Amino acid sequence: MEVSSTNNSKPEQVIEQPGESVLESNAKPERPKSHFFPSFSTLLNNLKSGTGSLSVLLVNLLCSVYFAEEIIAGANKLIKDTENTALNSFSLEQQKFIQQQSAEQIVAQSVPPWTGCKDEYSVKRQCLSLSSVEDNLLREPPAGCDFSFDFSAYLPQAFGALEADPKLQQLRFTLVPKKISEETFWRNYFFRVSLIRKAAEREEVAAGENSGTFSFV
């Protein structure tokens, strides 16, 4: 036995409860108002209706301007701090690059201190012997001696000496900075190198004078 049923049900009605409202799907929510200061239009309407005062309007306007300036100042400070941080970072990287380039340039220009001497072999042999005695690098030049030392000017020769003399490398590692400073180490070294070079120059002059004398006997 078939039972036929007819759909006589009606659409459900939404019963609105007290205090509640149903929003349409395309309705836009109301923009929340500021809790800090009344809107300018509200203050102006109150002033026109007599419920507000000009002083209240001015105070709120000034406060709004003040806080706006504070926000702008804070944003400007943040931008400035960010720029300073970026600038400092760039400056550090630039300094590192310059130092690296300077170091590479010094190494590329490095030459041993005996380079250019006429009797280069003899001067080189004596310079290499300096690293055999530790006291040669510990004793400072005597007071009043005619020897001026500019560490930066001697750097290429210092690198050249280290490359050519492994004993000098080991001696520098032993003495600096435990017993003497880096600059003192090289001042003492190049002072003795200058003595060796001057002695070689005097020998050259003496050899030239002897070769220019003639005997008539």
> What CATH number corresponds to the domain at position 181?
1.10.3970.10
CA distance 217 to 205: 25
Same-domain pairing of 62 and 103? yes
Query: Is 74 within a domain?
Result: yes
Number of folded domains in the chain?
2
| Mean pLDDT, rounded, for 83-100 | 67
Domain end: 83, 107, 131, which one? 107
**Among candidate residues 110, 196, 120, the one with its CA nearest the CA of residue 154:** 110
Judgement on whether residues 173 and 145 belong to the same structural domain of the protein = yes
Residue 9 resides in a domain:
no
Tell me if 31 is assigned to some domain: no
Tell me if 11 is assigned to some domain.
Answer: no
For the segment 181-207, the average pLDDT, to the nearest whole number, is 93
- In this predicted structure, the answer to whether residue 3 has a pLDDT above a threshold of 60 is no
The phi and psi torsions of 175 (rounded to 5 degrees) equal -90, -35
For 181-194, give one letter per residue: b (16+ CB within 10 A) or e.
Answer: eeebbbbbbbbbbb
Question: What pLDDT was estimated at residue 165?
Answer: 96
Same domain, 128 and 197: yes
C-alpha dihedral, 29 to 34 to 35 to 40, nearest 10°: -120
- What own/partner pairs with CB < 8 Å and gap ≥ 24 does 53-58 have? none
The answer to whether residue 153 sits within a structural domain is: yes
| Range(s) of the domain holding residue 125 | 120-207
User: CA-to-CA distance for 153 and 157, rounded, in angstroms?
Assistant: 9
Report the b/e string of 52-66 with b at 16+ CB within 10 A: beeeebeebeeeeee
Residue-level pLDDT at 210:
74
Establish if 30 belongs to a structural domain.
no
Sequence-separated (6 or more) residues with CB below 8 Å from residue 87: none
* Whether 131 and 173 share a structural domain: yes
Is the pLDDT confidence value at 55 over 50? yes
Tokens 């005062």 correspond to 53
- pLDDT of res. 75: 66
**Residue 59 lies inside a defined structural domain of this protein:** yes
Residue 133 sits in the same domain as residue 175: yes
Task: Summarize pLDDT for 118-150 with one digit per residue, the tens.
Answer: 899 999 999 999 999 999 999 999 998 989 999
Q: Domain check: are 101 and 126 in the same one?
A: no
C-alpha 65, offset from chain centre: 40
Report for 2-16, 57-71, 96-110, 162-176: range of highest mean pLDDT: 162-176
- Range list of H helices, 109-214: 120-129, 135-138, 151-164, 166-175, 182-211
Residues 125 and 71 in one domain: no
